[in-house]
């Protein structure tokens, strides 16, 4: 998606050789009109699919997931939680997610009420890096006995391998911008 690559080039900041900072429009400050364009693009890419629910994880995936929902008949979105809220009194599914930057393993959880075995689920997130968050969400979908239609990521850092590991498992992964490398402070995109 050229518009997104242009935005990353203009507003993104490369930190070292593996971090792309896009907090001016995606994951701290949010450009809502731009999120609508990203949602529309996910809508196009998965247009032929029946989607019953969109799954994301707090917090940075929520905005783009919301904007994607309208292209699937306003399917509900559910965001997996990183902590167990005191209001979650019912049973839940949990999945482990390893953080490479923080070097720790945490849990993401979702109430059993909000993924049903009959549902077709689209996962949406801001980034795929090592793919641990998406793999954790795929695990939640599988535990619920639901069907994973695919994974949509705004930005895939291909050099960290997460997207390709998900593809190797047979999942459809659609990334709106794919970064091949960060070389000498320059963000290099895959041509596609």
Residues that bind a copy of itself (CB under 8 A): 15, 19, 21, 23-25, 28-33, 35, 58-59, 62-63, 66-67, 69-70, 74, 76-79, 81, 85-89, 101-102, 110-111, 113-114
Q: How far is the CB of 79 from a copy of itself (least distance, A)?
A: 7
The answer to whether the CB of 70 falls within 8 A of the CB of 38 is no
Question: In degrees, to the nearest 5, what angle opens at C-alpha 42 toward C-alphas 140 and 129?
Answer: 55
Name which of 111 and 142 has its Cβ closer to a copy of itself.
Answer: 111
**Tokens at 179, concatenated:** 């970064």
Q: Using CA atoms, how far apart are residues 40 and 138, in angstroms rounded to an integer? A: 23
For a copy of itself, give the closer residue by CB, 88 or 107: 88
Dump the DSSP string for 46-88.
TTTS--SEEEEETTTTHHHHHHHHGGGTT--EEEEBSS--TT-
Which residues lie across from 56 on neighbouring strands? 79
Residue 21 vs 169, nearer CB to a copy of itself: 21
Q: Report CA 181 to chain centroid distance, whole Å.
A: 19
How many angstroms separate the CA atoms of 170 and 140, rounded? 16
Burial class, 151, CB count within 10 angstroms (exposed 0-12 / middle 13-18 / buried 19+): buried
Task: Tell the smallest beta-carbon distance from residue 51 to a copy of itself (Å).
Answer: 13
Question: In terms of CB distance, is 10 or 87 closer to a copy of itself?
Answer: 87
**Minimum separation from the CB atom of position 38 to a copy of itself (A):** 12
Least Å distance between CB 77 and a copy of itself?
5
Closest approach of a copy of itself to the CB of residue 4, in Å:
17
Nearest C-alpha neighbor of 35 from the set 190, 152, 160: 152
CB of 30 to a copy of itself, least distance (A): 5
């Amino acid at each position: 998606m050229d518009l997104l690559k242009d935005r990353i080039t203009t507003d993104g900041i490369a930190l070292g050789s593996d971090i792309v900072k896009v907090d001016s429009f995606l994951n701290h400050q949010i450009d809502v009109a731009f999120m609508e364009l990203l949602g529309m693009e996910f809508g196009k890419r998965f247009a032929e699919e029946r989607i019953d629910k969109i799954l994301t994880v707090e917090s940075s995936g929520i905005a783009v997931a919301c904007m994607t929902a309208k292209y699937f008949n306003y399917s509900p979105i559910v965001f997996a939680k990183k902590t167990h809220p005191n209001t979650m009194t019912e049973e839940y599914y949990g999945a482990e997610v390893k953080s490479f930057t923080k070097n720790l393993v945490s849990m993401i959880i979702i109430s059993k009420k909000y993924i049903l075995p009959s549902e077709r689920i689209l996962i949406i997130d801001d980034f795929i890096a090592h793919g641990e968050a998406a793999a954790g969400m795929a695990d939640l979908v599988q535990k619920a006995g639901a069907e994973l239609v695919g994974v949509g990521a705004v930005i895939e850092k291909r050099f960290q391998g997460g997207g390709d590991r998900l593809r190797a498992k047979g999942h459809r992964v659609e990334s709106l911008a794919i970064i091949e490398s960060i070389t000498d402070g320059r963000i290099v995109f895959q041509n596609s």
